[in-house]
């Protein structure tokens, strides 16, 4: 199997339909075998029943994975990536903010020899069709400056939910992941730096989708993001000292 696509989902019974229809149609037109793993992060709205209504094809397998209670996006992605069977594993968001066709840019980079390929909305060739609100974009800029200084990684967009990994990189990095929250992306990229994996960025077409399952609608929730960021090095320092 060449490709695994992991889609974390929390109460996505409505949006997952369009995402799966487009994803399965696209993958069905490829010349290789692939699989789509939808990981329900403690959903209570019947997401599983919706996913189970999709029939696998000769080329594309569909699997629904579920656990309870809700643990966080980082946990859901790790759960799926460690169970992916493909030579390359991609995770993408359930809201389809980035079309599945963008994977071709990432696959090309993997085939060139990179271990990881990440979509970046800040890439000079990216197209942003609908922006987030001003407060969220401002917070993201502040967060990025602190992240680059603290983790010493050069990526200006770690939070775009569209990333590809070789199987070896996925198995090693996600096995070491400790954060269950949305801030797992910079943790994975920081770990990639420690492990010596090569990372490339590629441009995407990205559309902000309203009704996000991850809301930053209070000061407390915004501060939580920064608190999680500053836990990364500490968590792995503690783990290393216990070996």
* Residues sharing a CB contact under 8 Å with residue 173, sequence separation 6 or more, in sequence order: 165, 188, 191, 192, 195, 197
- Give the whole-angstrom CA distance, residue 211 versus residue 16: 13
Task: Kindly state whether residue 240 falls inside one of the protein's structural domains.
Answer: no
The answer as to whether 138 is a domain residue is no
Q: DSSP secondary-structure letter at 131?
A: P
User: Would you say 199 and 114 are in contact if contact means Cβ atoms under 8 Å apart?
Assistant: yes
Looking at residue 128, what is its pLDDT?
Answer: 84
Nearest to 106 by CA among 120, 86, 85: 120
Dihedrals phi, psi of 108, to nearest 5 degrees = -60, -40
The DSSP string of 3-57 is EEEEEEESS-TTHHHHHHHHHHHHHHTSSS-EEEEEEEES--SSHHHHHHTSPP-
> What is the model's pLDDT at position 242?
53
Give the Cα separation of 20 and 38 in Å (integer): 9
- Report residue 134's pLDDT band, with 50, 70 and 90 as the boundaries: low
SS3 149: helix
Question: How many domains does the chain divide into?
Answer: 1
What mean pLDDT is predicted for residues 115-129? 92
Taking every pair of Cα atoms in the chain, the longest distance, rounded to a whole number of angstroms, is: 49
Conformation bin of residue 11: beta by default, left when phi > 0, alpha when psi is -120 to 50: left
Distances in Å between the alpha carbon of 202 and those of 22, 137, 160? 21, 20, 11
User: How high is the pLDDT of residue 209?
Assistant: 84
Q: Which domain holds residue 116?
A: 3-133+156-214
- The CATH number given to whatever domain includes residue 14 is 3.90.550.10
Q: Would you state the structure tokens that stand for residue 20, as one six-digit string?
A: 């799966």
Residue-wise pLDDT tens digits, 12-52: 999 999 999 999 999 999 999 999 999 999 999 999 999 99
Per residue in 155-197, pLDDT (tens digit) is: 999 999 999 999 999 999 999 999 999 999 999 999 999 999 9
For residues 97-114, give the mean pLDDT: 97
Q: Is the pTM of this model over 0.85?
A: yes
Query: What region, left, alpha or beta, does residue 96 occupy, with left being phi > 0 and alpha being psi -120 to 50 degrees?
Result: left
pLDDT of residue 223: 85
Indicate whether 180 belongs to any domain. yes
């Amino acid at each position: 199997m060449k490709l695994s696509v992991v889609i974390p989902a929390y109460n996505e019974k409505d949006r997952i339909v369009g995402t799966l229809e487009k994803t399965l149609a696209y993958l069905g037109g490829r010349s290789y075998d692939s699989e789509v793993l939808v990981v329900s992060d403690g959903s209570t709205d019947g997401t599983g029943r919706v996913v189970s209504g999709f029939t696998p094809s000769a080329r594309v397998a569909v699997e629904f994975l579920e656990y309870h209670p809700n643990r966080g996006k980082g946990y859901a992605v790790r759960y799926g990536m460690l169970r992916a069977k493909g030579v390359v594993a991609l995770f993408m968001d359930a809201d389809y903010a980035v079309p599945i066709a963008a994977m071709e840019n990432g696959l090309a980079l993997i085939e060139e020899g990179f271990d990881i390929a990440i979509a970046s909305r800040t890439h000079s060739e990216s197209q942003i069709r609908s922006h987030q609100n001003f407060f969220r974009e401002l917070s993201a800029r502040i967060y990025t400056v602190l992240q680059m200084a603290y983790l010493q990684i050069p990526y200006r967009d770690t939070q775009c939910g569209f990333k590809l990994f070789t199987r070896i990189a996925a198995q090693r990095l996600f096995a070491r992941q400790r954060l269950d929250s949305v801030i797992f992306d910079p943790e994975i990229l920081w770990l990639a730096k420690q492990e010596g994996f090569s990372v490339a960025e590629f441009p995407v077409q990205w559309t902000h989708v309203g009704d996000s399952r991850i809301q930053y609608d209070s000061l407390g929730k915004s501060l939580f993001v920064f608190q999680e960021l500053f836990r990364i090095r500490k968590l792995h320092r503690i783990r290393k000292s216990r070996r």
